A and B are shown apart, each in its own frame.
Chain A
């Protein structure tokens, strides 16, 4: 494990709430508003960490464990993802499987904590969450399988190191298809439009927001920070695998990667500003479409 491998996790811990700020600023710019400060998420986190807590009498230890397990799981995911061609701290053959399943662990405990409150709102959000994630997971793994076949490596860091401008020239369409599929998975897993609307708190449009409804204080801070880290992890996955900037200088590469991460945040903001939320019946179609794109990419690499 090199010293440069630790740069990405440190950046993740420090800069991930900034992604929310960038997305919100982009949406505000589209809407002709000033928008909240870019550092708003940090202010929210520090405010929440200074508060007390109120727990529902219906809940058990599962509710109190949910945010902690979720944050721990996504922290483990953070050390698996490469950025800028540098290998991740915990890189090994098959780490992509661990990444997918550790995000699943976070989801399992978030959903069980939501069901613990005995509220029908949270049950509704939980039910939608498990449906959409079950459909998004094949798309994620098929896209990673296409990348594995293309680069010949079964480790995320290996795939990232093998990526170069040459790969784009040779297999551009495959990479474009996988990027599209991974982008849809990113939008679905992080509860962004067109799958979920993070701004509203209406029954019609909530998935992730509603599962955090009964948490408050430090628990809500953990959930918020965990959501920021999850967005960072999936965006870093996209950037680390797709960005072919390899100058040889670790700091330049990581700087380019960081720029691309914020470009992804801007892209998410653009998507959120230009699309309405899909009808709930259409979201499975979108996810299966992403899976079909990933399958197409994999079929193309078979030729």
Chain B
């Protein structure tokens, strides 16, 4: 599959996340996005990918596509959370906002001074779009799990940004970033489980009563 197709699939996964109404579907979509990003790293690499690049790409795909969903779904199951996404902004409005965000990202990417590369501006546009979608999910959804997913999507966006701009990143840095994200998700999963056990829900809107 070509680079363009993967990028369009990433955009479609983002739109699917915006319009999703069940948490299980959202988690699986983020998993698919993670795998797509592994493929992206391989295809966008300038020249022949070395062993370290393969390692990072496959490792990232496995981590984001298999491990994180398993962690999150396990936390949800043991916390016995209801399956509906509870949004502040409904699915239709989210979808329309997503299309507008895509337009804005494309426009912004054209205006950024980027290094030479055949696909730079499209990659950067998709990266910006993922970041915006991740932010939107964090802001416009009530359940804590949606905020974790939003964080993961933002992380994916920043990763795509890196793929677009950085020629070669040291193996240690890449592994360090992956470890970072893994620890964050692990901790958030544990926190979710404990919040749910303590308060019987994971609605962050209700948690505002804690401020007193």
CB–CB A284/B11 < 8 A: no
Interface size class of A (residues with CB under 8 A): 10 to 19
CB–CB A292/B5 < 8 A: no
What's the Cα separation between A173 and B92 when bound, in Å? 23
Q: What are the residues of chain A within 8 A of B187 when measuring CB–CB?
A: none
Q: What are the residues of chain A within 8 A of B96 when measuring CB–CB?
A: 288, 292
Q: Say yes or no for A217: interface residue by CB 8 A criterion.
A: no
Q: Say yes or no for B8: interface residue by CB 8 A criterion.
A: yes
CB–CB B103/A285 < 8 A: no
What's the Cα separation between A65 and B8 when bound, in Å? 47
| Chain B 90-103: CB-based contact to A (< 8 A → 1; otherwise 0) | 01100110110011
Chain A residue nearest to B122 (CB atoms) is: A303
What's the Cα separation between A296 and B99 when bound, in Å? 7
Q: Say yes or no for A289: interface residue by CB 8 A criterion.
A: yes
Q: Which of B5, B19, B91, B102 is A296 in contact with, Cβ under 8 Å? A: B102
Q: What are the residues of chain A within 8 A of B102 when measuring CB–CB?
A: 296, 299
CB–CB B8/A285 < 8 A: no
Q: Which of A288, A296, A302 is B92 in contact with, Cβ under 8 Å? A: A288
Q: Say yes or no for A300: interface residue by CB 8 A criterion.
A: yes
Q: What are the residues of chain B within 8 A of A284 when measuring CB–CB?
A: 92
What's the Cα separation between A292 and B93 when bound, in Å? 11
CB–CB B5/A289 < 8 A: no
Number of interface residues of B (CB under 8 A): 18
Q: Say yes or no for A79: interface residue by CB 8 A criterion.
A: no
CB–CB A292/B95 < 8 A: yes
Q: Which of B4, B92, B106 is A285 in contact with, Cβ under 8 Å? A: B92
Q: What are the residues of chain B within 8 A of A303 when measuring CB–CB?
A: 106, 122
Q: What are the residues of chain A within 8 A of B91 when measuring CB–CB?
A: 285
Q: What are the residues of chain B within 8 A of A19 when measuring CB–CB?
A: none
What's the Cα separation between A292 and B97 when bound, in Å? 10
Chain A residue nearest to B92 (CB atoms) is: A288
CB–CB B95/A300 < 8 A: no
CB–CB B95/A296 < 8 A: no
What's the Cα separation between A200 and B91 when bound, in Å? 29
Q: Say yes or no for B15: interface residue by CB 8 A criterion.
A: yes
CB–CB A292/B4 < 8 A: no
Chain B residue nearest to A287 (CB atoms) is: B92
What's the Cα separation between A285 and B5 when bound, in Å? 25
Chain B residue nearest to A171 (CB atoms) is: B4
Within 8 A of A (CB), among B1-18: 4-5, 8, 11-12, 15
Q: What are the residues of chain A within 8 A of B15 when measuring CB–CB?
A: 289, 292-293, 296
What's the Cα separation between A215 and B96 when bound, in Å? 40
Taking the closest CB of chain B, its distance from the CB of A282, in whole angstroms, is: 8
Taking the closest CB of chain B, its distance from the CB of A178, in whole angstroms, is: 13
CB–CB A288/B5 < 8 A: no
Q: Which of A282, A300, A302 is B8 in contact with, Cβ under 8 Å? A: A300
Taking the closest CB of chain A, its distance from the CB of B105, in whole angstroms, is: 10
Chain B residue nearest to A176 (CB atoms) is: B8
Contact A288/B95 with A173-B5, A300-B8 known, Cβ cut-off 8 Å: yes
Q: Say yes or no for A295: interface residue by CB 8 A criterion.
A: yes
Q: What are the residues of chain B within 8 A of A289 when measuring CB–CB?
A: 15, 19, 95
Q: Say yes or no for A259: interface residue by CB 8 A criterion.
A: no
Taking the closest CB of chain B, its distance from the CB of A121, in whole angstroms, is: 28
What's the Cα separation between A282 and B92 when bound, in Å? 10
Q: What are the residues of chain B within 8 A of A172 when measuring CB–CB?
A: 5
| Chain B 58-78: CB-based contact to A (< 8 A → 1; otherwise 0) | 000000000000000000000
CB–CB B4/A173 < 8 A: yes
Taking the closest CB of chain B, its distance from the CB of A3, in whole angstroms, is: 41
| Chain A 176-212: CB-based contact to B (< 8 A → 1; otherwise 0) | 0100000000000000000000000000000000000
Taking the closest CB of chain B, its distance from the CB of A53, in whole angstroms, is: 43
Within 8 A of B (CB), among A260-303: 282, 284-285, 288-289, 292-293, 295-296, 299-300, 302-303
Q: Which of B8, B19, B99 is A173 in contact with, Cβ under 8 Å? A: B8
Return 16 A-B CB contacts under 8 Å, by A number: A173-B8, A284-B92, A285-B91, A285-B92, A285-B95, A288-B95, A289-B19, A292-B15, A292-B19, A292-B95, A292-B96, A296-B8, A296-B99, A299-B99, A299-B103, A299-B106
The 6 closest A-B pairs by CB, nearest first: A173-B8, A288-B92, A292-B95, A285-B91, A295-B99, A292-B99
